Amino acid sequence: MSYIETIKYLYDSTPVFQKEGQAAYKEGLDNTLAFDEHFGHPHRQYKTIHIAGTNGKGSCAHTLAAVLQSAGYKTGLYTSPHLVDFRERIRINGQPISEDYVVNFVDKERRFFEPLHPSFFEITTAMALKYFADEQVDIAVIEVGLGGRLDCTNIIRPILSVITNISFDHVQFLGHTLDAIAEEKAGIMKQGVPVVIGEYTEETRKVFEDKSKEAGAPLCFAEDHQEICSYQADYKRGGFEYVTKTYGKLHGELGGLCQEKNTNTILNAISQLKKSGLKLSKKDVRQAFENVCSLTGLMGRWQTIKNEGPTVVCDTGHNEGGFKYIARQLKAQTCEAMRIIIGMVNDKDVRAVLALLPKNAIYYFTKASVKRAIDENELKNLAEDYGLKGKTYQTVVSAYQAAISDSQPHDFVYIGGSSYVVADFLTFFMPKMSTQD
């Protein structure tokens, strides 16, 4: 099979959460343990860092990977979902896994895994862990797919666990209360492995404290150890300028108001990694924060596509926790007209997100090209309950083209509501990167 045929095979023959949602979710680690035994426990051949949480996992994972790369460590990075190309999920020193490796892995191993009827994510995780071993990485940053306790990445024994924050997402799998969700996420805690909690509430803090005692995992609440003295937007270069206790002035390339919390979490994680014996200099940290996108290939985090005529920004934030920051960022924009292209999927608290959005914007309601996408007309009807007005478009591309056609040079265009909306947009905007068709 060619690479494109191989990706199509994986999508067509395995349950894919990206497309199917709950039907693709497999609870338990049986398949993952079978893969792990089959490949000789590849994750034991290198150090790992485990990243869980509701929001900010991707930014934290990519930035920590960038720090490790800058320090000279051969660094694996496993994240999900991808936006344009499947290979974004599995990287070493920022370079995506090769097409040949993907093809050869599936061709050689399908006779083993087909009888297991694994999910797409189970196969992808097994591929990533083996690839990192085959390529002899020093360390790999592993992002949880969903939850923690029963996520198939939870077979690793990391040198550090990070839980960024807890808010309402995937409640049908993880629970309908913050403490229930926190308990699932806290399932990545392991005996003797330090864990950094990025943000907490009164109810989640108790869960984390109880679970850390039960697991014997040393606990650090990043909010109790503020590394950031002050920060402000850097309008010239983009991102933020931080003044920090340990690193002095630090330029963070990533935009979005959520990055202040993420940055404090990351700096606390770096402190723990130093205690574990990793050599991470101030220069390494500064270089990583300033160049995280080019070092790791990160996309879709308050990403500016055009700076003018009009300004165009996309962001993968997709739940209430994420949109609390995005709504503040939208409100801060200076523009003649704000045009918001939005689509969401059916396992999110759509009303909670709509309630946060600005009423003075012009809306382009659309849907991503996944089965879980909410129909654009249904989304428009829900939005009208919150005073949000606009038209409907069957695809993200048609919505974007309409918004650009309607725009004046000093307008502001935002694309978001779902990772899959951003994926459809970036696939159109950067067609040479796309290998999903």
Could you read off the pLDDT of 242-290 as tens digits, one per residue?
Answer: 999 999 999 999 988 889 999 999 999 999 999 999 999 999 999 999 9
* Residues 380-390 pLDDT 10s: 999 999 999 99
Q: What average pLDDT does the chain have? A: 91
pLDDT of residue 16: 56
Could you list the residue range(s) of the whole structural domain that residue 324 is in?
303-433
Question: Do residue 97 and residue 151 come from a single domain?
Answer: yes
Q: Within a domain: residue 251?
A: no
Question: For the residues 405-418, what does the mean pLDDT come to?
Answer: 96
pLDDT higher than 80, residue 17: no
Residue 370 belongs to domain with CATH number:
3.90.190.20
Question: Do residue 201 and residue 325 come from a single domain?
Answer: no
Q: Within a domain: residue 294?
A: no
Q: Within a domain: residue 240?
A: no
Q: Within a domain: residue 319?
A: yes
Tell me the pTM: 0.88
Using omega within 30 degrees of 0 as the cis cutoff, is the peptide bond preceding 358 cis? no
Question: Do residue 11 and residue 115 come from a single domain?
Answer: yes
pLDDT higher than 70, residue 397: yes
Question: Do residue 341 and residue 268 come from a single domain?
Answer: no
pLDDT higher than 90, residue 188: yes
Question: Do residue 49 and residue 168 come from a single domain?
Answer: yes
Question: Do residue 186 and residue 312 come from a single domain?
Answer: no
Question: Do residue 46 and residue 171 come from a single domain?
Answer: yes
pLDDT of residue 432: 41
pLDDT higher than 90, residue 301: no
Question: Do residue 61 and residue 194 come from a single domain?
Answer: yes
pLDDT of residue 148: 85
Question: Do residue 271 and residue 390 come from a single domain?
Answer: no
**% of the chain beyond a pLDDT of 90:** 76
Q: Within a domain: residue 297?
A: no
Question: Do residue 147 and residue 192 come from a single domain?
Answer: yes
Going by pLDDT thresholds of 50, 70 and 90, the confidence category of residue 26 is: low
Q: Within a domain: residue 89?
A: yes
Mean pLDDT is lowest, of 10-19, 130-139, 194-203, for 10-19
Going by pLDDT thresholds of 50, 70 and 90, the confidence category of residue 436 is: very low
Residue 221 belongs to domain with CATH number:
3.40.1190.10
Higher pLDDT, 13 or 175: 13
> Which residue among 250, 281, 312 closes a domain?
281
* Count of domains for the chain: 2
pLDDT higher than 90, residue 20: no
Q: Within a domain: residue 250?
A: no
Question: Do residue 210 and residue 341 come from a single domain?
Answer: no
Question: For the residues 107-124, what does the mean pLDDT come to?
Answer: 94
Rg for the chain, CA atoms, rounded: 21
Question: Do residue 308 and residue 205 come from a single domain?
Answer: no
